[in-house]
Amino acid sequence: MTSAPRHAETILAFDTSAGHCAAAVLRDGDIVIAKAEDMTRGQAERLVPLLEEILAEAGLAWSDLDRIGVGVGPGNFTGIRISVATARGLALGLGVPAIGVTTFDAIASITPGDTAVPAPRDQVYLSHAGHEPELVPKDQARSANLPPPAPELAAAIALCAAAADPAECPAPAPFYLRPADAAPSRDLPPPLLD
């Protein structure tokens, strides 16, 4: 018994979990284009124009997309929220599934073994196969695989999203391993006047 041929999909993947704005297009199983721009600020303003540019360079329109892949972290809190919100909005507007991919899974899809994601204060988030990730000093993760350059990371996210079963994937959500550095103000808000 033979199964029906699998529909070739077009996947747009992106990531802003670190000091970059990165995106890739996967079509019929091949990476068509992958781009990234280094930036520590401004991802919210740059992400959608970058996505429009790579779609245009690939000769595609938003309506050609079958799936969205998005990097969900760990990493920069604001950057992760930017990507996740964009992915969820695009998925809703286009009527396609959005698949969240952790940076650990993206790294592991390229190079098997322990994976590590840079964290503040000379630390890394370290993931051992079968264990929960943990925050450790950088020197404890010397043999772990770090994230590839941003365009390769976006391409890996696209490939992971292609391999996922959308029916088994909840809507993308940020993957945080520690609380935010900033705390809410302890000052009481001013009273509301009628």
Largest interatomic CA distance in the chain: 73
DSSP notation for 102-140: -HHHHHHHHS-S-EEEEETTTEEEEE-TTS--EEEEGGG
What residues does each domain of the chain span? 10-112+147-168
* Residue 93 confidence (pLDDT) above 80: yes
Region 32-58 average pLDDT: 97
* Residue 6 confidence (pLDDT) above 50: no
Sheet containing strand 30-38, edge to edge, reads 30-38, 20-27, 10-15, 67-71, 98-101
pTM above 0.95, yes or no: no
What's the pLDDT at 140?
A: 92
Helix or strand holding residue 151 (H, E):
helix 150-163
Name the CATH topology of 10-112+147-168: Nucleotidyltransferase; domain 5 (3.30.420)
Compute the Cα dihedral for 144, 148, 152, 157 and give only its sign. positive
* Residue 130 confidence (pLDDT) above 80: no
Mean pLDDT of all residues in the chain? 91
What is the tens place of the pLDDT at every residue in 158-171?
Answer: 999 999 999 999 99
* Residue 22 confidence (pLDDT) above 70: yes
Q: Residue 36 — φ and ψ, nearest 5°?
A: -155, 155
Region 14-27 average pLDDT: 97
Collapsed DSSP state (helix, strand, coil) of residue 14: strand
What's the pLDDT at 34?
A: 98
DSSP notation for 24-75: EEEETTEEEEEEEEE-SS-HHHHHHHHHHHHHHHTT--GGG-SEEEEE--SS
- What is the pLDDT confidence band of residue 183, given thresholds at 50, 70 and 90? low
d(CA 90, CA 93): 5
Contact partners, residue 35, CB within 8 Å, separation at least 6: 22, 23, 24, 50, 53, 54, 151, 154
